[in-house]
Amino acid sequence: MDAILSYFSSLNPMNFLSQLPGNIAQGIIWGLMALGVFITFKLLNFADLTVDGSFATGGAVTAVLLLNGVPIWIAVIVALIAGILAGLITGLLHTLFGIPDILSGILTQIALYSVNLNIMGKSNLPISNRNYSLVLSSLNNNMAIIIGLGFAAIVIAAMYWYFGTEQGSTIRSTGSNPAMSKAQGINISVSKVIALALSNGLVALSGSLFAQYQGFSDVNMGRGAIVIGLAAVIIGQVLGETIFRKHINFIIRLVFVIVGGILYYIAMGIVLWLKMPTDDTKLFTAVIVAIFLAVPYLQKKSKSSFKKVAKLNAKAYSKEGEKNA
């Protein structure tokens, strides 16, 4: 009993609140990454695991270019292009060689691990805000939040525009109905490659920002990125659909991906504040994603299921039995 009391008295709400801006900033940065996952997972219906690699690629490219005296904005743009190339490889493995979607992503991801090590020359490169002028940094979380939101606004506006164009529409139709798309003259291989390239470009951009935020690039920084991305996408979707119901539209869905990223990091902040071991954070992430994936399914099931029919009928039969008796 004493142990529990002393545990709770050791929890200082101020600690949590002081961490909050950092959580929000990280949530926004990872939300950008989740927008990339949204393109493949939601629009293209393609479970792309490249992102674990391309996220780290974004960080690696940024760090190396900075160390070599390249201006930060150019480093960010080159990181984005590197991500686009990574997505291109996954897309070509899938469309040219017929390798299943998950597998082609895994192949690129594992290859990128070596590529990223080669880019950086070692497994960790520090890029301190003190030595370089960075786009954002954890040393100024309020600024990081504002800049992150600026990036999010630009990316969301660009995605809203692109997926409303003739070309963007073909990506949505390819993901939803490839047979129809081919019959309407759409080259679905091209659609897939474009979507994968754009998605991973966005993921690498997020990786670049995250490396700057944390002040270093690490070859392992993308490990489990896909799950965090999915967490943001799914938390955002469940929440957005609960709040807006039928009125949800494309732009709200995109905004809620960022919201999902922020909520995920706040939840992580709570977990750490509760002094749970940091070793368990990945386990915690997996549990969150599993729960949010399961909720819509279970909700649907609670409305109509075989068990429910069995219960209803059992009731009806027992009533009939009483009457007959």
Partner 1 sequence: MLEIKNIYKTFNKGTVNEKRALNGLNLTLNDGDFCTVIGGNGAGKSTMLNAIAGVWPVDSGAILIDGKDVSPLPEHKRASYLGRVFQDPMTGTVADMEIIENLAIAARRGKKRGLSWGVKKGEKEKYRELLKEFELGLEDRMSSKVGLLSGGQRQAITLLMATIQKPKLLLLDEHTAALDPKTAAKVLELSDKIIEENNLTALMVTHNMKDAIAHGNRLIMMNDGKVILDISGEEKKKLTVEHLLQKFEQVSGSKIESDRMLLSTD
* CA atoms of 29 and 76, how far apart (whole Å): 14
Closest CB 185 distance from partner 1, rounded Å: 3
Nearer to partner 1, 187 or 242 (CB): 187
Contact 58, 212 (CB under 8 A): no
Q: Is 132 helix (H, G, I), strand (E, B) or coil?
A: coil
Nearer to partner 1, 121 or 164 (CB): 164
What's the sign of the alpha-carbon dihedral 170, 173, 178, 180? negative
98 binds partner 1 (CB under 8 A): no
What character string, x for contact with partner 1 (CB under 8 A) and - otherwise, covers 147-186?
Answer: ---------------x-xxxxxxx-xx--xx-xxxxxxxx
Nearer to partner 1, 156 or 188 (CB): 188
Find the length of the chain. 325
* CA atoms of 207 and 181, how far apart (whole Å): 33
Nearer to partner 1, 160 or 273 (CB): 160
What character string, x for contact with partner 1 (CB under 8 A) and - otherwise, covers 22-41?
Answer: --------------------
Closest CB 110 distance from partner 1, rounded Å: 31
188 binds partner 1 (CB under 8 A): yes
Identify the CA nearest to 205 among candidates 63, 38, 77: 77
44 binds partner 1 (CB under 8 A): no
* CA atoms of 182 and 95, how far apart (whole Å): 14
Nearer to partner 1, 114 or 249 (CB): 249
Nearer to partner 1, 164 or 296 (CB): 164
Closest CB 183 distance from partner 1, rounded Å: 5
Nearer to partner 1, 162 or 273 (CB): 162
Closest CB 68 distance from partner 1, rounded Å: 34
Contact 54, 222 (CB under 8 A): yes
187 binds partner 1 (CB under 8 A): yes
Closest CB 263 distance from partner 1, rounded Å: 25
First vs last Cα of the chain: how many Å apart? 57
Closest CB 162 distance from partner 1, rounded Å: 8
Contact 80, 204 (CB under 8 A): yes
Which residues contact residue 206 at a Cβ distance below 8 angstroms, ignoring those fewer than 6 apart? 29, 30, 32, 33, 36, 55, 58
Nearer to partner 1, 109 or 181 (CB): 181
Which residues contact residue 176 at a Cβ distance below 8 angstroms, ignoring those fewer than 6 apart? 45
Closest CB 187 distance from partner 1, rounded Å: 5
Closest CB 194 distance from partner 1, rounded Å: 11
Identify the CA nearest to 33 among candidates 54, 47, 12: 54
Indicate the burial class of 295 (C-beta count within 10 angstroms; 0-12, 13-18, 19 or more).
middle
* CA atoms of 183 and 245, how far apart (whole Å): 33
List of residues contacting partner 1 (CB under 8 A):
162, 164-170, 172-173, 176-177, 179-188
